[in-house]
Amino acid sequence: MPIEVSIIGGSGYTGGELIRVLLRHPEVKIKRVTSSQYAGMYLHMVHPNMRKVTELKFSSREEVEPCDVLFTCVPHGTAMKDMEGYMKLGKKVVDLSADFRLHDPKDYPTWYEHEHTRPDLLSKFVYGIPELHREQIKSTNYVAGAGCLATASILGLYPLAKAGIIEPDRIIIDAKVGSSAAGHEPSLSSHHPERSHVVRLYAGTGHRHTGEIEQELNFGIKPTVAFTAHAIEQVRGISATSHVFIKEELHKTLQEKDIWKTYRKEYENEPFMRLVKDKKGVFRYPEPKILLGTNYCDVGFEVDPHTRRLVVVSAIDNLMKGAAGAAVQCMNLMNGFPETTGLDAIGFHPI
């Protein structure tokens, strides 16, 4: 018998992706999708790809009944205020806001410029990257979905940091992200004449996902991450280029094959991780374009022969592996379903 799920805040891009994936999930029945703005309207009035796919309508928040899994796609800063109520509605909760990603409440003023109003709930949430926390996710009722830029960056660097290959205080990440990561609310920066053809630096320093990256790459020594983000013209996709440095004592002995072995040790059996490093062809390194609509993360690397620098490239679809896809992957683990259920989409080529 399918489990019943509801989505709080289903009119945004992440909510739309959740609906798209869950409608084809064989173990799920969508019970309610809420929207304060569009309550009573058909989903396809907001998500036009749902035409003739579902006759579901948006509900108000008050109409949501208890369910097996509740996905919360609400603005940052509001989930923490309402989470106690959400926990009463959902036996299991997957929160896609930023409100429960950081373990230490002291980090919220640093990265989000406000105090955390429910620090007592932080320890209940598991950080929602299955490749890092699979066993904890299986046994929890509460998952905090990871940030999209953080997901791409962490998955690219996690094996190297865990193996102690790179210097923890010299991590430089330059990420480029499509416009959908900014959400569906329009602004001057998303206005077509202003956004078209751009490669725009919008966060040279201080990006809030930095806190997540430093948290998850901490293996006894908290790393120092210098993170920069650019907005680019494409709608979906993230390409994160990380510049890290091989520890001096390993530089002369560590070979490229050893780096391959490090990645394979962590990711060889991961269903959504792919190592991409070819000597020929157009797609020699990860590119987000071919990942659109999929839950894959592609990772590649290049060793700089002149320095101790190791360049790592990781790519994802920010709305899938960076949000809705990872949330469904976590839901599968929490409910004992095969991890890949409902997430077997293959990317398009050409597109």
Q: Once rounded to an integer, what is the mean pLDDT over residues 333-341?
A: 98
Same domain, 239 and 308: yes
Long-range contacts of 338-344 (CB under 8 A, 24+ apart): 339/130, 339/271, 340/271, 340/272, 341/25, 341/26, 341/27, 342/21, 342/22, 342/24, 342/25, 342/26, 342/27, 342/28, 343/21, 343/272, 343/295
Task: Indicate whether 235 and 296 sit together in one domain.
Answer: yes
**Torsion angle (degrees, nearest 10) of CA 73, 77, 79, 83:** 170
Q: Is residue 48 part of a domain?
A: yes
Q: Which domain range does residue 105 map to?
A: 3-124
Q: Give the residue ranges of DSSP H helices in 73-203.
A: 79-89, 107-112, 130-139, 148-163, 192-195
For residue range 29-86, list pLDDT tens digits in order. 999 999 999 999 999 999 999 999 999 999 999 999 999 999 999 999 999 999 999 9
Express each pLDDT in 137-153 by its tens digit. 999 999 999 999 999 99
Number of domains in the chain: 2
| Amino acid 62: pLDDT | 96
* Residue 40: CATH number of its domain: 3.40.50.720
Residue ranges in 286-343 assigned as alpha helix (H): 325-334
Do both 25 and 69 map to the same domain? yes
Q: What does the pLDDT read at residue 266?
A: 98
Residue 19 forms part of a structural domain: yes
Looking at residue 184, the DSSP 8-state letter turns out to be S
Residue 247 and residue 209 share a domain: yes
Asked if 263 and 191 sit in the same domain, the reply is: yes
Does residue 95 share a domain with residue 45? Answer: yes
Summarize pLDDT for 232-283 with one digit per residue, the tens: 999 999 999 999 999 999 988 999 999 999 999 999 999 999 999 999 999 9
Q: Residue 79 is encoded by which pair of tokens?
A: 């989930």
pLDDT band, residue 24 (cuts 50/70/90): very high
Is the C-alpha dihedral spanning 126, 243, 325, 235 positive or negative? positive
Domain assignment present for 130: no
Q: Is residue 85 part of a domain?
A: yes
pLDDT at residue 190 tops 90:
no
Residues 120 and 153 in one domain: no
Report, as residue numbers or ranges, the catalytic residues.
148
* Residues 259, 179 share a domain: yes
Whether 202 and 289 share a structural domain: yes
88 and 31 together in one domain:
yes
Global pTM exceeds 0.95: yes
Q: Examine residue 332 and state whether it is found in any structural domain, yes or no.
A: no
